[in-house]
Amino acid sequence: MSSVRLSVVVTRRLPEPVERRMAELFDVTLRDEDRAMTREELVRAVKTADVLVPTITDKIDAALIAQAGDQLKLIANYGAGVDHIDVNTARQHGILVSNTPGVLTDDTADMTMALVLSVTRRLPEGLSVMQSGDWDGWSPTALLGGRVAGRRLGILGMGRIGQAVARRAAAFGMQIHYHNRHRLRNEIEEEIGATYWESLDQMVARMDVISVNCPHTPSTFHLMNARRLKLMKADAVIVNTSRGEVIDENALTRMLRSGEIAGAGLDVYENGTDINPRLRDLKNVVLLPHMGSATLEGRIEMGEKVLLNIKTFDDGHRPPDQVVPSML
């Protein structure tokens, strides 16, 4: 282990226990305010830091990496997704990249089910009636939603989160279907009670609910494009707690407005905070501000993974959560 403490730059405010532990272990530069770094601030960080700890709000592209100093040897991402980091270019410059997989599985799966229930049972509309003071009592036909039990759920991406969603949905009585790059082992399919569809088109056309749980890669960009969205049944709904780029947001907006799709629950968006304004006006859409991983427990566990990756690297070993291009 080196006798000189690593210089670590963190790009966003993190939970206090994580920041405190970082300050104990490393020569760390923390943020005074919770906002994303500007491009100029990121450039200064990569020129001086031994380790950069970015989040999804930081674009670590080839141009930024090209300006890094020779001392930058690790990008310890605070988060599981690394599509905001040019991992290939980092590797070419001798910079390792690590992430924090696995710790947010249950939190994100919980939020997926919350969105399914919110859309199908029209929870935001009921909340709006109560908050506005317009409720004048129970009615047999007011705010009728749909029963979740018995509905066919099609999960797009059956990794850790997809499987966690499947287990929760099965407990609600939903029928579990999925499309994945690789089929699950028989024993996992049997445990979950899941039906595999080799053809995404055929699955989409037959589902009552579609849940997007796959990462954003070049091959999944607009995987749910206009053509595929048109295959959905008119009374079907779609939820996304993964990456906004997987769905063609403009096409989805048009179809929601025209009634070709019954509803949507979105926690992520194609262009970050620049959300299609026409989505905001729709009563059949539930929009959340990227809350899928927003639990204190999960965020602290993410920080613990970052700390372990940096500490292992500082001890001269490969970070346990190192990301390599073949993984993407």
Residue-wise pLDDT tens digits, 186-216: 999 999 999 999 999 999 999 999 999 998 8
Residue 71 has pLDDT above 70, yes or no: yes
The rounded mean pLDDT for the chain is 95
> What span, in angstroms and rounded, lies between the C-alpha atoms of 316 and 282?
53
Count of beta carbons in the 10 Å neighbourhood of residue 78: 21
**105-287 CATH choice from 2.30.40.10, 3.40.50.720, 3.40.1190.20, 3.90.209.20:** 3.40.50.720
Average pLDDT value for residue range 150-163: 97
Contact call for residues 12 and 55 (beta carbons, < 8 A): yes
Contacts of 252 (CB under 8 A, 6+ apart): 224, 229, 238, 261, 264
pLDDT score for 326: 60
pLDDT score for 4: 84
**7-101+295-327 CATH choice from 3.40.50.720, 1.20.1730.10, 3.40.30.10, 2.130.10.10:** 3.40.50.720
- What is the four-CA torsion angle of 274, 276, 281, 286, rounded to 10 degrees? -70
DSSP per-residue letters across 18-79:
HHHHHHHHSEEE--SSSSPPPHHHHHHHHHH-SEEE--TTS-B-HHHHHT--TT--EEE-SS
Residue 327 has pLDDT above 70, yes or no: no
Residue with structure tokens 């966690």?
164
Residue 316 has pLDDT above 90, yes or no: yes
Residue-wise pLDDT tens digits, 232-286: 999 999 999 999 999 999 999 999 999 999 999 999 999 989 999 999 889 999 9
Rounded to two decimals, the pTM is: 0.89
5-40 as b/e, with b when 16 or more CB fall inside 10 Å?
ebbbbbbbebeeebbebbeeebebbbbeeeebbeee
Segments making up each domain of the chain, as ranges? 7-101+295-327, 105-287
Domains 7-101+295-327 and 105-287 share a fold: yes
